[in-house]
Structure 1
Amino acid sequence: MGGKEGEKIKASPSALDFCRNTKNEDIHSCLFKDELVNVSDDGKTIGELKIEIEKVSYSGELVLLVHANSQGKVDGVPTGTALTAYIRQDLSVIEQHHQEYVKVPNHELEKVTTMKRDEEENVFIINTQITHGADTRSYAYTYPLDEVEGLVTEGNNIVLQRLLAKQEVQEFDDLDFISIDVESGNLFPCKYTSLPERLQKVDTKKIPVLGIERTVLSEKELPCTWQSFFMDDGHLTMRVQVGSPYVVVVDTIPQHIDRDDYEQKPIFTKKPLNWEEDAELTSMFLERKEALKADHFTYLREHPDVQALLADFMQFVLLRKPDNIVEFAGEFFSSFSSTLPETSSYKHS
């Protein structure tokens, strides 16, 4: 069983309330793509980051599908991540797959983590496999669902930050969530702090952006901190991990989403259609009808066995006069199958 010994790490009540009170219109306004580039400290583009959130059906339930992929080269070494996550409206994770790799020659490193919620067993399962060269290590942990309430992963963090960036009140320092170290299995606090609004230069323009700092605390190691900046419609414009040699930024201003219009759809009134009174539609109908008839007749000419088979069937029907024509037809045509057992066509005579 995973988890830290002693006092249990829990999400703050305000953080849980934020997730539970997320509205459908708030979620809908997060359904868009972000495309950014990775830039080194000397200003060179070394990779790209693509993020997309959409609604899909998962086991009959309408949920959020989060896709995030990054790839590039750091000091000439290919690196990348691939993330797929299924998230409920309350931001709880149903399933997540996360792959990370660093392709150092002869010392390739790959880390694959799978998380899944099992509501029948009331548990949350995490499996991680780390391959470093020829060495492979595996970790598996299982948690009761109530222990991971308010859990933030790479998947629902993307949705959460888009929602936070769109809040009217930009102070959310009391939103404390939890995170999991997939190697040790321990739970740690995950804190979100608002940063002062600033101007960010994109192309030749400066746009106002809101900053959000995410900090994952640790028992032994230094905290991991990311600073992300967003437009007021939730578009990510910059992200940097403290201590990292590169920054992720947009190179063009994302298309703005109007919060008042995001869910409005065009309404088309139903108009009566009487094609027989429309000369153009009537002509199209007759042309299509003749084309289909010609195609059908051509097929029948090329396959005379069709008419022979149907004539044989009609003769059998008229001779036997079965009470159940459907069953009789099934038995008749099943005799031509090479996989079904032979049956007598006289059964329903």
Structure 2
Amino acid sequence: MLNEKIKANHYKFLVHISSHFNCGYEAGSDMTSWVNRDFHTVEEKRKEYIFDDEETGRQKTCYTGMQHNKYYVRNTCSRNEIDKRRYYSMIKMKNYISEGANFVMMRYMVIARYIGTFELSTMYLNGDLCRNIYESKGPRVVKIDGNNVEAYKIHRTIIEECGTVHRIATLFSTHGRIITQEWEGNPFVLNINPKLKLDNAVFLPRFEYEELEENWKNDLGLLAKYTDIKTNAELKCRTYMQDHPEVKEAIADYMQHVLLLKPSKIMEFTCEYFKRYLPLQSYRGNTFSPDEDDLEFYMSL
């Protein structure tokens, strides 16, 4: 992964991922993607191939490119001779994150120590948009080659338009290096090169928790939200009092009774006083036991 400079003061990530394996046939995948600092994909090309009995083999490709106010998508399949081209509007692609941007974002989530769940959209190899759900539960200690290493696991769920679900689990070191990646239902697992040494002695600082009850005013975001809620509540209260003058009259009448009678048990007096404003209860007696129902009803008043 390289941080390239295309234009003056416009830095972008160049992400290139290549894999090659043998599942009875030679197969693999390639992906090259240009991603800016906001995780927007400028251009991406993905390819998956397999050389089976046919000499030429089979391959599927998907090209995505950002154009003026739209995304251009082209996907091909050599076996079925498919060459489909389409456009997606920026509104439809507002939550889109490509496969290249996906790896950049997951590394950022690890380094920033993000915990939580959120949903974006991604694109399947056939060019269809899919739901893309991320879940990160924070750091944990795992054992790798007999050593305890602090690591992050991010679960990713991709749901196609047809309803097919794909689940991927990726384990990162605290510095954003991929340790292992697994696909549900797939016997192949991606593992880090065992010759690489993970520095388990150098961990990022652990979480520091602060009591919000004492420090929430120091957080400008929380303070602004509190101020907005308080202002809206005061406005609603004033508006309600203006629209319902009978409330002010009821409070004035209550205060007059308190000053005149001077009750010793103010709470009980207040409850009894305002009971008259409660809606009348409708009596629903039982024909077979009228005495018990009458007693329960009148005791509840």
TM-score range, shorter chain: 0.5 to 0.7
Distance 1:125 1:163 in 2: 27
Partner of 2:60 in structure 1? 111
Partner of 1:24 in structure 2? none
Compute the displacement of 1:200 (Å). 3.5
Greater RCO (Cα-Cα under 8 Å, separation 6 or more):
1
State whether structure 2 residue 14 is matched by structure 1 residue 58.
no
Distance 2:101 2:33 in 1: 8
Compute the displacement of 1:138 (Å). 1.3
Structure 2 counterpart of 1:137, which letter?
I
State whether structure 2 residue 197 is matched by structure 1 residue 253.
yes
Partner of 1:91 in structure 2? 39
> 1:126 is matched with which residue: 73, 83, 86?
73
Alignment gaps of 5+ in structure 2: 206-301
Structure 2 counterpart of 1:253, which letter?
K
Structure 1 counterpart of 2:103, which letter?
I
Structure 2 counterpart of 1:103, which letter?
F
- Aligned-pair Cα RMSD in Å: 2.3
Aligned-partner SS, 2:92: helix
Distance 2:198 2:65 in 1: 33
Structure 2 counterpart of 1:65, which letter?
L
Query: How big is each residue's C-alpha offset from its partner over 1:236-276, in whole Å with a ceiling of 9 and x where there is no partner?
Result: 1010011111111112334688879xxxxxxxxxxxxxxxx
Distance 2:168 2:99 in 1: 12
Distance 1:112 1:186 in 2: 13
Query: How big is each residue's C-alpha offset from its partner over 1:275-333, in whole Å with a ceiling of 9 and x where there is no partner?
Result: xxxxxxxxxxxxxxxxxxxxxxxxxxxxxxxxxxxxxxxxxxxxxxxxxxxxxxxxxxx
Partner of 1:155 in structure 2? 100
Compute the displacement of 1:182 (Å). 4.6
State whether structure 2 residue 2 is matched by structure 1 residue 70.
no
Distance 2:58 2:22 in 1: 14
Over 3 Å counting, the alpha-carbon distance change for 1:130 and 1:255 in structure 2 is farther
Contact 1:202 1:253 in 2 (8 A): no
Structure 1 counterpart of 2:83, which letter?
S
Compute the displacement of 1:131 (Å). 1.2
Alignment of 1:284-323 (within 5 A): none
Aligned-partner SS, 2:116: coil
Over 3 Å counting, the alpha-carbon distance change for 1:165 and 1:93 in structure 2 is same
Distance 1:69 1:255 in 2: 25
Alignment of 1:327-338 (within 5 A): none
Contact 1:235 1:254 in 2 (8 A): no
Aligned-partner SS, 2:91: helix
Structure 1 counterpart of 2:67, which letter?
D
Contact 2:116 2:137 in 1 (8 A): no
Contact 1:92 1:150 in 2 (8 A): no
Alignment of 1:1-349 (within 5 A): 53-60=1-8, 61-74=10-23, 76-106=24-54, 108-119=57-68, 122-132=69-79, 135-168=80-113, 170-173=114-117, 175-183=118-126, 185-195=127-137, 197-250=139-192, 251=194, 252-254=196-198
Over 3 Å counting, the alpha-carbon distance change for 1:203 and 1:90 in structure 2 is same
Decide which moves more: 239-248 or 190-199: 190-199
Structure 1 counterpart of 2:86, which letter?
Y
Distance 1:109 1:156 in 2: 26
Over 3 Å counting, the alpha-carbon distance change for 1:151 and 1:66 in structure 2 is same
Over 3 Å counting, the alpha-carbon distance change for 1:200 and 1:101 in structure 2 is farther
Compute the displacement of 1:93 (Å). 0.2
Structure 2 counterpart of 1:244, which letter?
N
Distance 1:237 1:182 in 2: 25
Distance 1:195 1:131 in 2: 41
Count of aligned positions: 200
Q: Percent identity?
A: 17
Over 3 Å counting, the alpha-carbon distance change for 1:231 and 1:242 in structure 2 is same
Compute the displacement of 1:59 (Å). 4.8
Structure 1 length as normaliser, TM-score? 0.53
Aligned-partner SS, 1:117: strand
Larger Rg: 2
Aligned-partner SS, 2:104: helix
Aligned-partner SS, 1:160: helix
Aligned-partner SS, 1:155: helix
Over 3 Å counting, the alpha-carbon distance change for 1:228 and 1:141 in structure 2 is same
